[in-house]
Structure 1
Amino acid sequence: MRRCLLALSLMALALPALAQDAERTMLSTVVAEHDRHVGLLERMVNVNSGTLNLAGVRAVGEMVRAELEPLGFDVKWVDMAETGRAGHLIATHPGNGKNVLLIGHLDTVFEPESPFQTFVRDGSRATGPGIGDDKGGVVVIVAAMRAMQAAGTLDDANVTIVLTGDEERIGTPLSIARRDLIAAGRAADYALEFENLASEDGVDFGTIARRSSANWTLQTSGRTGHSSGVFNDTLGYGAIYEMARILDGFRRDLPEPNLTYNVGVIAGGTPAAIDAEGFAVTASGKTNIVASTAIARGDLRTLTPEQDARVRQRMQGIVDQHLPRTDAELSFGEGGYPPMAPSDGNLALLARLNAVNRDLGLPEMSPYDPARRGAADSGFVAADVATLGGLGVAGGGAHAEGEWIDLDSLIRQSQRAAVLITRLSAGEP
């Protein structure tokens, strides 16, 4: 399988559409350095960089620094101690062309206590924590930059790379945690995000939209007393019935395309409580006592800011229709990911990528269904700059033990990226 793909990659060098010697050099460089980049990926994966492992995140950042500085990048580490996180790596390569922002992240969901810690290769398939999300994407960036340098197209390229250290669990306050990424997006002409490639049954898709991700907390209260009095004018319905009414109202009244509103944790009783992190709930009670308190937490995912605002208003309207002798409060957590809303600019960027695909002899990529993608850092820049996501490696099982990638996808993704970035920075139509 791997030999076959390498042969196809070499055949691409003969395509007449690739008239420029520089582009041919980029393709051949990616193929020639494939084993080097697999080795880099293995070393990165074997360093634990769970979001809360601050030293591990910094260590992976230093590995990337060692790759980019020899290519002429000015690399700096932006410390994020005030947000409770390690920090971000920002690398700049000033040039004469359009500024192209490349986005990825250094952290993973696998903290040091996870049993899943090691890179394992089996032919063209490899598993490991964060191998696709997002260390494979970071390696694609490195491979593309090396190919551009070999071809001489990096010399005048205007490239900014932002690799966050807390994509999986953003630090607070958000205004500081994403300050530098947002600023880079406002200065860029194009933004490319290197999270996992959407690929199904051997067909690759382009990501021109992602939904948001925000957390909500719902707390209900009621009068407590002997259960023989439930539903009467004195006690009313209690906190749990009020909670059930609201959540069922969400289920019945909110559905619309590209919207989800999951309930992740719930507790009710006399009393019920939730921890400061919002993950663990406790409750106690008896069958003959009307519940005084109920708590639920969930997430909300929308495709556009307008949809987000509208749905939040509708949720609040459902909450406000209280059962007798109950009350409820709905709140949304600080931060979260804004949507990467679909736009003409994003679609035009996919068209530019498809021009590259045609020249490389690869199939064109259709837009991927945003309802099937998670949120990402691209959402923080998409309101300011045309953005294309999912330019990392192909694989599966992200965020779970056994996360895997197709190592051969590292070749085609690095080739696509090198040619696309070169053309974008040069201002080619």
Structure 2
Amino acid sequence: MRNIILSICLVVFSSGLLLAQLSKTEKKIVRSVDQNNEHYTSLLKEIVNINSGTMNFEGVKHVGMVLKKEFETLGMETKWVDGAAFGRAGHLVAVNKGQKGPKMLLIGHLDTVFEPDSPFQQYTMLNDSIMKGPGVADMKGGDVIILLALKALKEANILDQMQVEVVLTGDEEKSGSPLELSKKNLVEGAKRADIALAFENADGDPKTIVVSRRSSSGWTLTVSGNAAHSSQVFTDKVGVGAIYEASRILREFYEQLSREENLTFNPGVILGGTSTSYDAGQSGGTALGKSNVVAKEVVVTGDIRAVSLEQLEKAKRIMQEIAANNYPGTSAEIIFNEDGYPPLAPSDGNRKLLSYYDKVSKDLGYGPVEAVNPRNAGAADVSFTSGYVDMAIDGMGLSGADDHTINETGNLNMLSIQAKRAAVLMYRLVSARVKE
């Protein structure tokens, strides 16, 4: 009994020390999050049960309209941006036109990977805190955290002073085209902002935050050879054929670039033979040939991911040089798709913002936060802020697991924790109460 009482006293004492790190306003923010957590937990359950697969335009807009009302309740100006011009449902934008502190862009998305034909449509509670549901972590939980944090700032009389723009896209999981229209609101918001805060779930670990994301774009390699009887392969007249040349190029990609840190390039589809037919829309096709005929054509498609524009350009240059150094009797060309996600390069500003977030987390009693390995975080909308904002971080959303699968879960206990971290961080950025 004595040990139990001692343990309780130590917990109370430790909690008191931690609360002492918070200002009066910050304590008010924390109380507000706790008081409003039940409402926003119910809101999360409501929107998880609305199918908003990217191509379900009606469902994406439905989620947007539910959240639109919530932002309007906070006194923010909202608009729905129709996505017809880029073949998607559209985006939700909410703005608060304060005059104090840095201009902040908050980023989320409305769509999920679960279309109406998916068997995964409703949430279930696995226990008192773990919710299994479509998009609960990626990233409807993050959208609700934005609202819960802004609600706390509103009740602490801070929000009305802030310069905040929220962009919730409707096509993060499957981007519309052309990309310059699809991401126009996001890029324009970034150009107006000083700081970008994104609420993806990142790698699902609340002890990490994203200061860097790799790019995501595609490439197509086409190889030509001389069709002939296989008995003539390797002769000066025929050469080696397209399949040998394609295998050489892919091997050289691996030999020269696979050890480059944070760079990956994956050949996902390959077709080769006497004739090929590739359908980009279906990401597949047909190949015809015979074992006694030298291959005339090869098509290879793949993706490439890099941590910075410099790394990406270097990799492209080397891959083009490899493709141009052909085996006898062959030719090859590699084309890189321009319509992709740019990298969010690591920067001093991003790392400084992480240090502020880390300090907030420690002061709240939630422990340190460190940068996640960019190999553990895929491409996301925050990357479109790169080069426009002074600071950006991502991964401020709801902790969960198995996103993009029918086993996706979110930890509801983390809803209030993440909202407190976000709200106190934003308050300190506005009030200049930030220390490394």
When normalised by structure 1's length, the TM-score is: 0.93
Distance across 1 between alignment mates of 2:146 and 2:137: 13
Q: CA RMSD in A?
A: 1.9
- The 5 Å alignment of 1:151-300 reads 151-200=156-205, 204-255=207-258, 256-277=260-281, 279-300=283-304
Cα shift at 1:428: 3.0
- The 5 Å alignment of 1:96-107 reads 96-97=99-100, 98-107=102-111
Distance across 2 between alignment mates of 1:400 and 1:267: 29
Long gaps (5+) in structure 1: 1-6
Which of 411, 414, 431 pairs up with 1:406? 411
SS of residue paired to 1:26: helix
Letter of the 2:375 partner, please give it.
A
SS of residue paired to 1:155: helix
Distance across 1 between alignment mates of 2:271 and 2:345: 34
Asked whether the equivalents of residues 174 and 334 of structure 1 are also in contact (C-alpha less than 8 Å), the reply is: no
Cα shift at 1:27: 1.4
Percent identity over paired residues: 44
Distance across 2 between alignment mates of 1:400 and 1:364: 29
Cα shift at 1:32: 2.7
Distance across 2 between alignment mates of 1:13 and 1:181: 40
Letter of the 1:208 partner, please give it.
V
Q: Would you say 1:31 and 2:34 are equivalent positions?
A: yes
Cα shift at 1:338: 0.6
Most deviating of 299-308 and 141-150? 141-150
Structure-2 change in CA distance of 1:354 and 1:14 (3 Å) = closer
Cα shift at 1:12: 7.5
Asked whether the equivalents of residues 216 and 332 of structure 1 are also in contact (C-alpha less than 8 Å), the reply is: yes
When normalised by structure 2's length, the TM-score is: 0.92
Distance across 1 between alignment mates of 2:16 and 2:103: 28
Cα shift at 1:282: 1.7
- The 5 Å alignment of 1:319-358 reads 319-358=323-362
Cα shift at 1:90: 0.8
Structure-2 change in CA distance of 1:368 and 1:12 (3 Å) = farther
SS of residue paired to 2:88: coil
Structure-2 change in CA distance of 1:12 and 1:48 (3 Å) = farther
The equivalent residue for 1:81 is 84
Cα shift at 1:129: 1.8
Asked whether the equivalents of residues 135 and 403 of structure 2 are also in contact (C-alpha less than 8 Å), the reply is: yes
Cα shift at 1:425: 2.6
Asked whether the equivalents of residues 264 and 297 of structure 1 are also in contact (C-alpha less than 8 Å), the reply is: yes
Letter of the 2:386 partner, please give it.
A
For residues 175-224 of structure 1, give each alpha carbon's deviation from its aligned partner in whole angstroms, at most 9, with x where no partner exists. Answer: 21112211111111211010004455xx6112111111111111112111
Structure-2 change in CA distance of 1:12 and 1:216 (3 Å) = farther
For residues 370-390 of structure 1, give each alpha carbon's deviation from its aligned partner in whole angstroms, at most 9, with x where no partner exists. Answer: 122111111111211110111
Asked whether the equivalents of residues 319 and 328 of structure 1 are also in contact (C-alpha less than 8 Å), the reply is: yes
| Runs of 4 or more consecutive aligned structure 1 residues displaced over 4 Å after TM superposition | 10-14
Long gaps (5+) in structure 2: 1-10
Asked whether the equivalents of residues 13 and 24 of structure 1 are also in contact (C-alpha less than 8 Å), the reply is: no
Cα shift at 1:290: 1.8
Distance across 2 between alignment mates of 1:69 and 1:254: 50
The equivalent residue for 2:402 is 397
SS of residue paired to 1:107: coil
Distance across 1 between alignment mates of 2:430 and 2:194: 9
Which of 378, 387, 390 pairs up with 2:392? 387
The equivalent residue for 1:90 is 93
How many residue pairs get aligned? The number is: 419
Letter of the 2:75 partner, please give it.
G
SS of residue paired to 1:91: strand
